Structure 1
Amino acid sequence: MKNKEENSAYSAPALEKGLDILEVLCQCENGLTQQEIATRLGRNLGEIYRMLTCLVSRNYVANYGNTYTITSKLFQLSHFHPPTYRLLTEAIPIMEQLSQAVSFPCDLRVYSKGVQTVIASIQPPDGLGFMTRVGSEIAVAPSASGLVLIAFQDPVIQELRIRESLTGQSGIEVSHFQTVLKEVTAKGFASIQSNQYAGLFAISFPILDMNRNAVAALTVPMLARIDGMKQATKEEVEYALKESAAKLSNRIALAH
């Protein structure tokens, strides 16, 4: 009973309504009407209208006719966070050089509560390749970058991330994942054939802090051409990616 009273004493209903709206809009790419938002949240239109008016005035939400969509303000604010801003500032020039050298796209991903978020993505000079949109949230388990973000951690953090990322998976699946993590740790990076897209091969290296824990994963998705045009080999991409990840890791470690 005491816990309920304490939770009630420190609750902020108006703030919770606003956050609920932001979260539901972040999950919907095409936007929602007031009625759709109210239905999804189980609230009445009056409550939703007042919150939306405030969020629109503060530029967290945009109103196009009868449809409300999330703006880029939350994403912009996240980049003002010093560690993220520093990581992006150091990473972008290195990523541009990498993409130009191998003629493949590359992206930078960070871990967040059971998923990974793309915080930067660079196109190759010809603009072709398998691109991931900045802001995308991607499942951890099937990906090379997800393996890297979990493998290169202290044991306690690694175990926590495994539990968060593999919720609902069977014991056999978790055991297999742990085996693959050991292989990735021993190898120093992840290099795997996609389980979702034909002809796609992903190579990912960790960006390490001063404690040798992965703060991000730098990834090159290689999409095989079928027109006979010459491409960089897997070994060439691995070498270039290793050099780029080491350079970025050194800069991040020095920044601390």
Structure 2
Amino acid sequence: MSDTSETLSTDNDRYTVPALERGLRLLACFTPSQPVWSAPDLARTLALPRSTVFRMLTTLEGMGYLQRSGTEYRLGLAVLRLGYDYLSTQPLAQLAEPVLQSLCDRLGFTTNLALLDGTSVVYVARIAPAGAFQGAVRVGSRLPAHATVLGRALLQDMDADQLRALFGGSELPQFSESTPRSVEQLLQLLQQDHERGYAMGEGFYEPGVSSIAAPVRDAQGRIVAGLGMAVAFTEIAPGRMADWVEQVRAAADELAGHLRTQHPGFLR
């Protein structure tokens, strides 16, 4: 390691606050797959003394980041407020809202913008017409990237090695009959999506729902977001799908243009 690297490492360690780091690691334990924790379980998972974990839990509960029911804890409303504050200040989400609104008005269906976060997609903007089908997701929802059409739009530039590194193996969790079962199957879908410039699926994640999505690219051509629409099977009009595809792609390109002109140095 060079002297410069050692200096940077030392400086980073000097400015790290261990107590804050432990508190954030504790909050990160609360996930959709395990939303409820007890103090002893957290202590074991984090390899920390129970007394330390109890003090962190008490502090986070007092600030509203956790809520307690008996001996169990779950995330509190302060986390939700923090998440919405993050989303509302993101330039991409702000730029996307009028584009999504215009697309929603033209099509009459729900429109979405999502970002890639690890192996998940996170919905950061969403417009739904009054009284129309909206689906199960909301702003802030996190879904598996390999099992969603928006995820395919976000992943479509990756090769096999990148996908294996991301998903940590070749087998993928199943969420529907349409979910690719392996990285190889996912890669085949992504190659098709890349060639045609969009992703499309019927019941790919949510039964009875068709989705179309296209990538949003920055000035360097990198995919920074996925823009899409969702429609119930019962609302699909014969012969309209090709037009919907072109409108979704045009909206993604429009958002990319706004991003390049208004935030040329944008980094995800």
Q: Same fold (TM over 0.5)?
A: yes
Alpha-carbon spacing, 1:197–1:54, altered in 2? closer, same or farther (3 Å): closer
- 1:193 matched to which residue of 2? 202
Cα pair 2:100 2:111 within 8 Å, conserved: yes
Q: Are the aligned partners of 1:140 and 1:165 in contact in 2 as well (CA < 8 Å)?
A: no
**Identical aligned pairs, as a percentage?**
19
- Give, in angstroms, the shift of residue 215 of structure 1: 0.5
Once the two structures are superposed, what CA deviation does each residue of 1:167-204 show, in whole Å capped at 9, x if it has no partner? 22159933333232222111011112234443322210
- Find the aligned partners of 2:226 and 2:97 in 1 and give their Cα distance: 13
How many Å separate the matches in 2 of 1:69 and 1:26? 9
Letter in 1 for 2:199: A
AA aligned opposite 2:151: G
Change (3 A) 1:174 1:25: closer
In 1, are the aligned partners of 2:160 and 2:183 still within 8 Å (CA)?
A: no
Uncovered stretches (5+) of structure 2, i.e. residues with no partner: 1-8, 173-180
Which residue is equivalent to 2:176?
none
TM value normalised by structure 1: 0.77
Residue identity in the other structure for 1:126: G
- The range that moved more, 99-108 or 161-170, is 161-170
Q: 2:87 aligns with which of 75, 79, 90?
A: 79
- AA aligned to 2:86 is S
Which runs of at least 4 in structure 1 moved beyond 6 Å after TM superposition? none
Residues 142 and 41 of structure 1: CA distance in aligned 2, closer, same or farther (over 3 Å): same
Q: Deviations over 1:43-62 (max 9, x none)?
A: 44421221123334554x14
Does 130-139 or 62-71 show the bigger shift? 62-71
**Greater mean deviation of Cα atoms: 99-108 or 210-219:** 99-108
| Larger relative contact order, structure 1 or 2 (CA cutoff 8 Å, min sep 6) | 1
Deviation, 1:251, is 0.2
Q: Give me the whole-angstrom Cα distance separating, in 2, the residues matched to 1:161 and 1:57.
A: 42
Aligned Cα RMSD in Å? 3.3
Aligned length: 239
Residue 71 of structure 2 corresponds to residue 63 of structure 1:
no
Matched residue of 2:133: which SS?
Answer: coil
Q: Distance in 2 between matches of 1:220 and 1:100?
A: 12
Letter in 1 for 2:83: F
- TM-score, normalised with respect to structure 2: 0.74
> Is the 1:123–1:131 Cα contact (8 Å) retained in structure 2?
no
Which residue in the other structure is 1:209 paired with?
218
Tell me how far 1:128 sits from its aligned partner: 2.4
Q: For the structure 1 residues 230 and 110, does the alpha-carbon distance in structure 2 shift closer, same or farther, using more than 3 Å as the test?
A: closer
Does the residue aligned with 1:116 lie in a helix, a strand or coil?
strand
Query: CA separation of 1:205/1:238 partners in 2, compared to 1, >3 Å: closer, same or farther?
Result: same
| Amino acid across the alignment from 1:216 | A
Contact 2:160 2:187 in 1 (8 A): no
For the 8 Å contact 2:159–2:187, the answer to whether it is kept is no
Partners of 2:26 and 2:42 within 8 A in 1 = yes
The residue that corresponds to 2:248 in the other structure is 241
